Amino acid sequence: MEKFVKHFAEQFDETDASEFTIETRFREFEEWSSLTALSIIAMVDEVYNVKLTGDDIRKSSSLLDVYNIVKSKM
Amino acid sequence: MALIQINNVTIRGISAAVPKQSQEVKGLPFFSDEEADKFIAGTGVERRRLVEEGVTTSDLCFKAAERLLAEMNWQRDEVDCLIFVSQTPDYILPATSCMLQERLKLKEGIVAFDISMGCSGWVYGLFTMSNLLSGGQLKKGLLLVGDTISKTCSTEDKSTYPLFGDAGTATALEFDTHSNGLKFHLAVDGSGAKAIIIPDGGYRNQYNTNSIQKVTDEEGISRTASDLILDGMNVFSFGISKAPESVNLLSSHFGIDLETIDYFLFHQANKFMNEKIRKKLKIPAEKVPYTLKDYGNTSSATIPFTLTKELGEIASEGTLNYIACGFGVGLSWGSVWFSTDRLICPAIIEV
């Protein structure tokens, strides 16, 4: 789970990694954009070999939500 | 699994036509300067060519075909088949290929029909045309592939309008017993049909008064049900898994060493997605040409357009081996291995 937070945080260029926990509501960062969403999808594909859909991202608000989806698809 | 080799067919020439009119991404009303820079950094698209009102895909393909026929010295009555591949035909009916037969002054005794495909369209068109020619009863074929996809985008939709450009291409194929043949992998997943769709105007949802109601989905995305809808996240997720998989299936099934490929031609979706695909396949950057910067995503035209634009000179001088991979609307995707020898590649035509 710690690794997931680290990988997740790496997809943000302007937001410091220290601001991320598993509870973080990532949409609230000013930096969040459709491109960050694509980076998350790419990261999950690369690291976990899991295919996230647009809906998976849209219905998630915290890192934990995404984490649980990834886990359920592994 | 659709892995198919087709022998006795060679690609002889490719040409392309684009509109003269270019439009910069920077300065579009729905983007601040900062947003435009971010868009450019992500997609790689700085400007696109857009047709004027009244100009269609078939007009661009017609110009490309005229030039190619002239450069190849093909007689009009030698052309035995014509396929038009597009998501933006002139009419719902009749098929645009029928009207192109007349415009190009091709003979009546020709096989001509349309194929409705987008991002994967050139690969599917090549597959169909090669099959028609490989028996040797039909000798020469023209494959006309392109889109004026800008016409399908709402000008107030930042998720489509800045990305797409217009282009038409012509590919000439010939029955040839000395050919190295073509090798294909083709696939489809209709469960993703709604990821790229124009909902209204066909016969599932016929035009009605709601079809022209503009709806704002989110900031910067206002469109009607007769405009193109692109679910970027789903298409991205699809592209980064299926495009590399397709190339790998092609190479393992036919024993193609990717090192022996001179150039990889990917559908020009956007830079971010295409670079993910390239890196997954561990292909060096110099083997993967792009036309996104000045022309954007030209839908079905991207692969032949990028070949003529970026490789035209070198392809006309010698022999090259390629793998091309198209992926998108359908969802549909496919890869093809082919080679060219002194390909006839006229300069890009501006209409």
Domain chopping of chain A, boundaries: 2-73
DSSP string, B224-273: -TTS-EE-HHHHHHHHHHHHHHHHHHHHHHHT--GGG-SEEEE----HHH
B125/B186 Cα distance (integer angstroms): 11
Interface membership of A52 toward B (CB under 8 Å): yes
Q: Do A54 and B231 touch (CB under 8 A)?
A: yes
Which residues of chain B does A52 touch, with a Cβ-Cβ cutoff of 8 Å? 233, 237
Interface membership of A57 toward B (CB under 8 Å): yes
B167/B182 Cα distance (integer angstroms): 25
pLDDT at B1 over 90: no
Domain holding B93, by residue range, is 1-351
Q: Which two tokens stand for residue B66?
A: 């005229």
B36/B67 Cα distance (integer angstroms): 36
Interface membership of B159 toward A (CB under 8 Å): yes
Within 8 A by CB and 6+ apart from B87, the residues are: B116, B117, B118, B121, B147, B149, B152, B299, B300, B329
Which residue in the set A34, A45, A55 is minimally distant from B232, CB to CB? A34
The residue of B233, B241, B282 whose CB has the most chain A CBs within 10 angstroms, and thus the best one to mutate to test that interface, is B233
Q: Do A41 and B233 touch (CB under 8 A)?
A: yes
| Cβ–Cβ under 8 Å, residues B306 and B290 | yes
| Cβ–Cβ under 8 Å, residues B133 and B174 | yes
Q: Give mean pLDDT, residues B146-157.
A: 97
- CATH number of B71's domain: 3.40.47.10
What are the tens digits of pLDDT across the range B11-21? 999 999 999 99
Q: What is the pLDDT of residue A35?
A: 85
CATH architecture of A2-73: Orthogonal Bundle (1.10)
B264/B253 Cα distance (integer angstroms): 18
Nearest chain B Cα distance for residue A3, angstroms: 21
Nearest chain A Cα distance for residue B1, angstroms: 21
Q: Do B241 and A53 touch (CB under 8 A)?
A: no
pLDDT at A13 over 90: no
Q: What is the pLDDT of residue B333?
A: 98
A22/B94 Cα distance (integer angstroms): 57
Per the structure, the count of domains in chain B is 1
What are the tens digits of pLDDT across the range A33-65? 888 999 999 999 999 999 999 999 999 999 999
The residue of A14, A33, A41 whose CB has the most chain B CBs within 10 angstroms, and thus the best one to mutate to test that interface, is A41
Interface membership of B231 toward A (CB under 8 Å): yes
B186/B3 Cα distance (integer angstroms): 7
Q: Do B241 and A51 touch (CB under 8 A)?
A: yes
pLDDT top residue among B90 and A33:
B90
Which residue in the set A33, A46, A54 is minimally distant from B234, CB to CB? A54
Which residue in the set B38, B195, B233 is minimally distant from A38, CB to CB? B233
**Scanning every residue of chain B, which has its alpha carbon at the shortest distance from the alpha carbon of A36?**
B42
What are the tens digits of pLDDT across the range B300-311? 999 999 999 999
pLDDT at A31 over 90: no
pTM attached to this predicted model = 0.95
Which residues of chain B does A38 touch, with a Cβ-Cβ cutoff of 8 Å? 42, 232-233, 236, 272-273
Q: Give mean pLDDT, residues A11-26.
A: 91
Interface membership of B37 toward A (CB under 8 Å): no
B145/B300 Cα distance (integer angstroms): 6
Q: Do A53 and B237 touch (CB under 8 A)?
A: yes
The residue of B236, B273, B280, B281 whose CB has the most chain A CBs within 10 angstroms, and thus the best one to mutate to test that interface, is B236
Interface membership of B273 toward A (CB under 8 Å): yes
What residues pair up with A57 in beta bridges, in sequence order? none
What are the tens digits of pLDDT across the range B329-348? 999 999 999 999 999 999 99
